[in-house]
Structure 1
Amino acid sequence: MRFMIMVRATAQSEAETSPDSGADEKLMADMVAYHEALAKAGVLLDASGLTPSSKGWRVRYSGGKRTVVSGPFGAVGELIAGYTLIQVRSREEAMEWARRFPAPFGETADGEIEVRQLYELEDFAPNAAVERLRELEAARR
């Protein structure tokens, strides 16, 4: 089972111009130690911080048309500042790892993470498209 741990953005993370601006050395050390523990346990698939939404864009779909909208985007608490992708045996194991996630902006700062399970190909009814995805996945390995 794969789960994505998403760090919700804050006004500070959206304003930062580089990963080091405002970076707390203890927080970085805590994050590294946490991700090392995930890797040692064999459950870490990927992890990274995201640049502020001002450097991104969205593609909106409406009426059969696509429109590209450049950032920044509002509602800071709805944006994602980073993620960690893990593969574990159960929802409970994912929850235990999530509970150990360091406070994303330091112990005294407000912050929030959200954890969501990813769909697996086995979750979908067998069909030609799912089989093509299986082939793509096998070729990628």
Structure 2
Amino acid sequence: MPRYLSLVKIDESTRPAEGPSPGMMQRMGELIEEITKAGVMLDTAGLLPSEQGVRVHLNGGEISVTDGPFTETKEVVGGYALMQCKDMAEALEWSKRFLKVHGDEWNLTLEVREIAEG
């Protein structure tokens, strides 16, 4: 079965200052338990804020490093999920459910891509 990487993109300036609510965390835990029991979830995690990250660039053979936060970027990757699904349609259904768990106070985008095998 193909594997899919779901990248959670977030505008860090619009996320709730208090972070995830206890209710959202409970709903997320229930969904992760369900998707894991279904044999779909291989790995998932949230990422620390971009201010604690770095970007490594290669340009013309030269490597440079930029410390976060990345102010020139509106959206950053805030987390990921690695899933094994029968097809893209199934991966999208799980991704939609993931988004719905967050509620109205979050503005997120998921980029779902099949992993090249072989």
TM class by shorter chain equals 0.7 to 0.9
Equivalent residues of 2:8, 2:80 under 8 A apart: yes
Is residue 51 from structure 1 mapped to residue 68 from structure 2 by the alignment? no
CA RMSD between the two structures:
2.0
Give the counterpart of 1:110 among 101, 107, 111: 107
> Where does residue 20 of structure 2 map in the other structure?
23
Write the deviation string for residues 8-53 of structure 1: whole angstroms up to 9, x where unpaired.
Answer: 122145x96xxxx432011111111111111100111100000111
Would you say the 8 A contact 2:10–2:107 is kept in 1? no
Q: 1:51 to 1:108 in 2, by over 3 A?
A: closer
Matched, 1:84 2:85: no
Determine the structure 2 residue equivalent to 1:42: 39
Letter of the 2:21 counterpart: D
How many residues matched? 115
Equivalent residue letter for 1:86:
M
**Bigger radius of gyration:** 1
Structure 1, gaps ≥5 residues long: 122-141
CA contact (8 A) 1:34 1:102 kept: no
Which 4+ runs in 1 deviate beyond 4 A?
none
User: C-alpha displacement at 1:89, in angstroms?
Assistant: 1.4
Kept after mapping to 1: 8 A contact 2:4/2:113 = yes
* Residues 27, 101 of structure 2: 8 Å contact kept: no
1:120 corresponds to: 117
Percent identity reads 35
State whether residues 46 and 84 of structure 1, in contact with CA within 8 Å, keep that contact through their aligned partners in structure 2. Answer: yes
- Aligned to 1:95, which of 84, 92, 95? 92
Higher relative contact order, chain-length normalized (CA < 8 Å, sep 6+): 2
| Structure with higher strand content | 2
Q: Aligned in 2, Cα 1:9/1:115: closer, same or farther, shift over 3 Å?
A: same
| 1:96 partner letter | E
Q: TM-score scaled by structure 1? A: 0.72
Letter of the structure 1 residue corresponding to residue 68 of structure 2? G
Give the TM-score normalised by the residue count of structure 2. Answer: 0.84
